[in-house]
Amino acid sequence: MKNNTLLAVFLFLTATTVFAQEDFNKWSIDFGAGVNKATEPYSLGFDQNQMSDLALEVGARYMFNDRFGLRADFGYADIQPSSGSFDFESEFMRFGVQGVANLGSIMNFRDWTNRFNLLGHAGVSYGRNKTQFVSETDQFIGITGGLTPQFKITDRFALNLNITAMAFDSADLTWDGASDGTRRGFDHKMFTTTLGLSVYLGDNEQHADFVDNSKVKQLEKEVEEIEGRLAKLESDLQDDDRDGVPNYIDTEPNTPTGIRVDSKGRAIDVNKNGIPDDMESALNKTFLTQETAEESGMMGDNANQLAKTLLNEGYVNVYFKFDSTQPEIYSFDAVNYMVTYMRNNPDATAKLTGYADQVGNTEYNNTLSERRAKKVYDILVNAGIDEGRLEYQGGGVDESVDANAKEARNIVRRVTFELN
């Protein structure tokens, strides 16, 4: 029956696992510096025939997925005359929006490299050209496109070589600004090549530029996810404490054998005194009552002093799970030991002190330690001990054990007794 259930769940998970989880970053900031070449048109006697003048650019990019994205960018180019040209100087700035295609992902680069990638980009730009010959700034719009080879340095940084071509329309002047433009439509052309850095933003390990979403990788991830779900399902269906309630709905997975539980695995406690009913009767038989002790001659001063010593010296404590105020089931032996002593010594009073381990916020742990002491106090009162004979307090964090030792921390999450 169990195998059939697991098979059914396996088939369901296989059928419903269609899309891969997008566990990658999408934002990046791109910087670059390099050279530019502004080609035609120029006035007669003016020219820039070398690709050597300064070009700068910066962009913010968002990838919708591992294949396509959008980029907003700003570019600057300083246009200087070549040798043999009349002297001039122009400063060109552009603002643009471009669509981005991750060609490396589209062409399955991840099948053979995890370092090299290629982006393609194209869009529209608004340009402004300022020259020394006129006071007004020449403005125009155009189209932009290019390729960006990338090399990944780390998961946060990648080198990029951005090669861009631009063509602009609506210009009134030539690049040098000395005469009117030819107005032939997209006649102002510029090429830039910049070397720069992509900085990847986000909490995930990888960016969309270099995430491996190849079919083989996706199949591996899907199989891994299904195996993980099946392992969890198999674990959930186990019943570690053998109380008849599977782990995944068992709120008390450490119930001792023989203790009756409800549908959620909680020990039945009809009188709400904090002690499971099946354990309560067994504990009453285990520990001596006043009458049986006197009859057997075991309640003399020596026995009474021994019990007090065990309680005061910390041999008998109530222990708790991490971040919990519910005593461990086995600790009810200690609670019953205390109840028995208080019943047999009606003049005795006691102070209960709770403690917490070093994990977490100190202020919270101080409160938790007091809540643990109050919980044991309530159990003792519900068991018939007069509340006037009891007091409780929080002892805060017990730092006597190594904070990194999980097992050692178990012994400091406790409530101790001090008898008077």
The packing angle between helices 332-344 and 362-382, to 10°, is 50
pLDDT tens for each residue of the chain, 420 residues long? 445 554 454 454 444 443 344 689 999 999 999 999 998 888 989 988 777 789 999 999 999 999 999 999 999 999 989 888 999 989 999 999 999 999 999 998 988 898 999 999 999 999 999 998 888 888 989 999 999 999 999 999 999 999 999 999 888 888 988 888 666 678 889 999 999 999 999 999 899 999 887 666 667 667 778 877 887 777 777 776 666 777 767 767 666 656 677 777 677 777 766 666 666 655 554 444 444 444 444 445 666 788 888 898 888 999 998 889 999 888 888 898 899 899 989 999 999 999 999 998 999 999 999 999 999 999 999 999 999 999 999 999 999 988 888 888 889 999 999 998
DSSP class of residue 305 equals: H
> Do 33 and 13 share a structural domain?
no
Question: Is residue 120 a part of any domain in this protein?
Answer: yes
pLDDT for 288 equals 44
Write phi, then psi, for 28 (nearest 5 degrees): -150, 155
> Do 45 and 9 share a structural domain?
no
Question: Is residue 128 a part of any domain in this protein?
Answer: yes
Total number of domains constituting the chain: 3
Report CA-CA distances (Å) from 227 to 2, 10, 17, 49, 240.
Answer: 16, 9, 12, 63, 21
Our measurement of the distance from residue 171's CA atom to the centroid of its chain's CA atoms, rounded to an integer in Å, reads 51
User: What SS3 state is found at 376?
Assistant: helix
> Do 291 and 166 share a structural domain?
no
pLDDT for 372 equals 95
- Spatial separation of the C-alpha atoms in residues 247 and 234, rounded to whole Å: 10
Q: Look up the CATH number of the domain holding residue 328.
A: 3.30.1330.60
The answer to whether 143 touches 182, Cβ cutoff 8 Å, is: no
pLDDT for 10 equals 47
Last residue of a domain, one of 180, 201, 222: 201
Structural domain of residue 218, as residue ranges?
2-17+214-235
Q: Look up the CATH number of the domain holding residue 143.
A: 2.40.160.20
pLDDT for 21 equals 46
Question: Is residue 249 a part of any domain in this protein?
Answer: no
> Do 154 and 66 share a structural domain?
yes
Sequence-ordered list of residues with C-beta below 8 angstroms from that of 168, at least 6 positions apart, any chain: 125, 127, 140, 141, 142, 186, 188, 189, 190
Sequence-ordered list of residues with C-beta below 8 angstroms from that of 190, at least 6 positions apart, any chain: 36, 37, 38, 39, 77, 92, 165, 166, 168
> Do 44 and 67 share a structural domain?
yes
Question: Is residue 263 a part of any domain in this protein?
Answer: no
> Do 187 and 287 share a structural domain?
no
pLDDT for 278 equals 62
Question: Is residue 247 a part of any domain in this protein?
Answer: no
Question: Is residue 347 a part of any domain in this protein?
Answer: yes
Question: Is residue 135 a part of any domain in this protein?
Answer: yes
> Do 165 and 98 share a structural domain?
yes
Question: Is residue 352 a part of any domain in this protein?
Answer: yes
> Do 318 and 385 share a structural domain?
yes
Our measurement of the distance from residue 317's CA atom to the centroid of its chain's CA atoms, rounded to an integer in Å, reads 38
> Do 78 and 11 share a structural domain?
no
- Strands (E) located in 220-284: none
pLDDT for 301 equals 61
Sequence-ordered list of residues with C-beta below 8 angstroms from that of 407, at least 6 positions apart, any chain: none
pLDDT for 180 equals 82
> Do 395 and 279 share a structural domain?
yes
> Do 219 and 282 share a structural domain?
no
> Do 138 and 49 share a structural domain?
yes
